[in-house]
Chain A
Amino acid sequence: MKSEALIVTGPGLEMDTMFVNLGPQHPSTHGVLRLGLTLAGEVITKAFPDIGYLHRGTEKLMEARNYHQCVILTDRWDYCSAMPNNLAFCLSAEKLMAVAIPPRAQALRVIMCELNRIASHLIFLGTYGIDIGAFTPFLYAFREREMILDLYEKCCGARLTYNYIRLGGVAADIDSDWVAKCREFLEYFKPRLDEYDTLLSFNPIFLARTQEVGLIPKEAAVGWGLSGPNLRGSGVSYDVRKSEPYCGYEAYDFDVPVGTHGSCWDRYFCRVQEMRQSVRILEAALTKLPSGELMAKGLAKVPRPPAGEAYAHVEASRGDLGIYLVSDGGVAPYRIHVRAPCFINLAILQEILIGKKVADVIAVLGSFDIVLGEVDR
């Protein structure tokens, strides 16, 4: 974007810079993120994202816990969408143990993760609207999210940190009543997506604030290791569900929406379109839900995966969530590393904020959809 600010240079005309702390307690930083901004007038000359305020050391904690206890800790990374966290951890451990997951459990994992994607993108839609100054969409988004949380509560008892996907399968079954309720939700939700488009996506004020702001070219997006809707917003069609299908995603028919020039609006609209695709996946999964077991047979109560290393990654709501797991044959993981998409997505801020005006910082930051629980782990 062409900067409208005029910076006068010349002898005796040097501009004083000002240092502004944005956060860590600020409603628009979506958690405890601190941005140290150096400003020349209204224009940012240096940006320093400061993280770690929510660092709980889960990777270390897991080294002294058994695998079932670790699943509980995974919920605490991306707490807005905890199901894919459970899934990524379980997939990596199951890879080491070479367990075959029953088909019904596979389908349930897909259903829960896609519902979580919708719930998580709804939070984004609502809070991004608020960041830009549109309060109303937030109320609509949370009305719909509430219905998903009710579905979760009915199935596994929890609304935020589920611990639902377990080693070898899933914790609880769904009945026909749940399936009917879920279908009811999908039917209710589809027209709501059109409503969001009229309310927010194509709102002229919203477009003006986001369409030309925070541009990330394709090469920069790949070079900085962005993933998820942030990468796809820049026009790179990379989705782990397509590139390395897990849980039988290859059997579902869905598209990977991509943006055109990597603006805040492209990232936003990728997420909105992803919700439509999730609805498609959910409808297919509910229709051909297989019957059978929920848990793999022959899994020890306290698993001891054979010594070795495994890497498994999933397309979580916010990007490519990878788990690198090292086992030394003991009951606790010897080492676990989380490739946290939010952490890696956030690093590009120090580059793209330079030259932007202060008023655009919130629009850019919000468009990355970060959850500090995952940034800091």
Chain B
Amino acid sequence: MNPLAGADAVARLLAAVPKAEIASSPVKDYPTIRLAAPADLLLAARLLKGDLGFMYLEMVTAVDWLGPVNLGGFVCGGNSNPLSRKPAAPPVSPVPGPGVSYRPMLDLLWSFGNLGENRKIFLRLELPRDRAEVPSLTSLFAAADWQEREAFDLFGIRFTGHPNLIKILTPDFLQGHPLRKDYVHAKDRYDEE
């Protein structure tokens, strides 16, 4: 896909949505727009769906920028096989690469597709980890239903206006949101002693 093919849509969005800007950290090769506040999301989504023909909500996801993953979030049982080698140290380094800054923020990402004109556009929005709340897109895109539930389950992002915001992948007894970087696994009845 030619990334410039969406230039018109990008310009329309930037003009209509206050304080929206071209993201400084784009998804490689795709037009990426950063929104300034959660309230702008519905405005941008309505414009994309209604006027610009982006009817296909392809993806809803998030990134937790807190820092390297806490290894306490993994269940690491001992291997009873006497021939198994000790696993190498997990490849997690505390120092980020150049251009990356760790911060207590969740970076949300939506991807919209225009199937007829073969274009794609990404929207992103940064939210504080402790107050991650954003309007739900379920009223515009049915596809947002389960994907928002997934983000709620794994990241703890609250989508206001979602008709059925309940856990979807993790079991009911699981505490916390596993894809947050500081998630620590609490031993439950399915873990080995």
Contacts and interface: CB of A to CB of B under 8 A. Distances in A.
A337 B150 CA distance: 11
A348 interface: yes
Contacts of B169: 51-52, 55, 376-377
Nearest to A347: B146
B25 interface: yes
Given A60-B73, A307-B99, A335-B64, A238 B115 contact: yes
B182 to A, nearest CB: 12
Contacts of A249: none
A30 interface: no
A346 B154 CA distance: 19
Given A322-B58, A324-B109, A64 B168 contact: no
Interface string B22-45: 000111111000000000000000
Interface in A205-233: 219-220, 222-225
Contacts of A347: 142-143, 145-146
Nearest to A67: B91
B114 to A, nearest CB: 10
B121 to A, nearest CB: 12
A244 B29 CA distance: 12
Q: Of residues B63, B98, B118, which shows the largest number of chain A Cβ atoms within 10 Å of its Cβ? A: B63
Contacts of A51: 168-169
Contacts of B142: 220, 223-225, 347-348, 351
B175 to A, nearest CB: 15
Contacts of A52: 167-171
Contacts of A328: 96-97, 100
A219 B79 CA distance: 51
Given A324-B59, A337-B61, A332 B96 contact: no
Contacts of A236: 115
Contacts, number: 133
A64 B96 contact: no
A66 B171 CA distance: 28
Contacts of B61: 324, 337
A309 B27 contact: yes
B92 A64 contact: yes
Interface in A320-377: 320, 322, 324, 326-332, 334-335, 337, 339, 343-344, 346-348, 351, 376-377
Given A307-B96, A311-B30, A334 B115 contact: no
A244 B1 contact: yes
Interface string B128-159: 00000000000001110111001000100000
A3 interface: no
A61 interface: yes
A377 B154 CA distance: 12
B178 interface: yes
Interface residues of B, number: 49
B96 A225 contact: no
A282 interface: no
B143 A224 contact: yes
Given A63-B69, A64-B71, A309 B28 contact: yes
Contacts of B141: 223, 225
A57 interface: yes
Nearest to A220: B142
A96 interface: yes
B13 interface: no
Interface in A279-313: 302, 304, 306-311
A35 to B, nearest CB: 14
B14 interface: no
Contacts of A66: 91
A225 B143 contact: yes
A330 B93 contact: yes
A311 B58 CA distance: 12
A308 B28 contact: yes
B97 A307 contact: yes
A60 B74 CA distance: 8
A306 B99 CA distance: 9
Nearest to B56: A222
B98 A329 contact: yes
Nearest to B94: A330
Contacts of A309: 25-28
Contacts of B47: none
Given A60-B69, A65-B90, A66-B91, 19 more contacts: A51-B169, A60-B178, A61-B74, A95-B28, A224-B142, A225-B56, A225-B58, A225-B143, A243-B1, A244-B1, A244-B118, A302-B91, A304-B97, A310-B27, A311-B27, A332-B92, A335-B63, A344-B143, A347-B142
13 contacts: A52-B168, A52-B169, A95-B28, A224-B143, A311-B28, A311-B122, A328-B100, A330-B96, A330-B97, A343-B150, A344-B143, A347-B143, A376-B169
Closest 4 CB pairs of A and B: A329-B97, A225-B143, A331-B91, A307-B97
